Amino acid sequence: MTLRLGDLAPNFVAETTEGTIDFYEYLGDSWGILFSHPADYTPVCTTELGAVAKLKKEFEKRNVKVMALSVDGIPDHMNWIKDINETQNTTVNFPIIADQDRKISTLYDMIHPNASENFTVRSVFIIGRDKKVKLIIVYPASTGRNFDELLRVIDSLQLTADYSVATPANWKNGEDVVIAPAIKNEDIPAKFPKGHKEIKPYLRMTPQPNL
């Protein structure tokens, strides 16, 4: 199965470091991030799991729940968590899935034979409140994930889900946004009372509407 943007994220029940979890029940009405690791005790992933733990308050502000996955078992996960907490000076505060049979990895197309027949690639899925996939990124083993960028993307996804706007290149929360092309000029004042600037007929900017 190949997941694409807009697809319904498959539900699953999994054994995790926080007990047996039904993915949909865990998410509830929150957004979600599911991200995978090829195996426990990998150096780059150790730093990533520590970084995510430190960002817990940022994810909570955005109503986002996090869940990680590795193909190793719970005993290894628990020992790895001790290493993460020690080396990254944090406390892992989200569940890590044990996917030894690779059922969830296969469900989410996390195993790419050109990279490895046995281990998951380092995938990230952002899932909306409607349980649909909003973003997919696959990283090589050598490059650590940028979780500040993922927070930026979540800000954009949540904003554009509620307003008829898009976010321009390198946009950060608080900056001007692009008015959707479908919005007619005569409808802009009612929809965007903060005003707008027309750079080109197809490029119209307005202050971020939810601030």
Q: What is the DSSP letter of 180?
A: P
DSSP helix/strand/coil, 156: helix
Check 9, 14, 21, 45 and give the catalytic one. 45
CA distance 154 to 127: 10
Residue 79 annotated among the catalytic residues of the structure: no
CA angle 151, 68, 89 (to 5 degrees): 75
Question: Within a 10 A sphere around the Cβ of 168, how many other Cβ atoms?
Answer: 13
Contact 166, 178 (CB under 8 A): yes
Active site members? 45
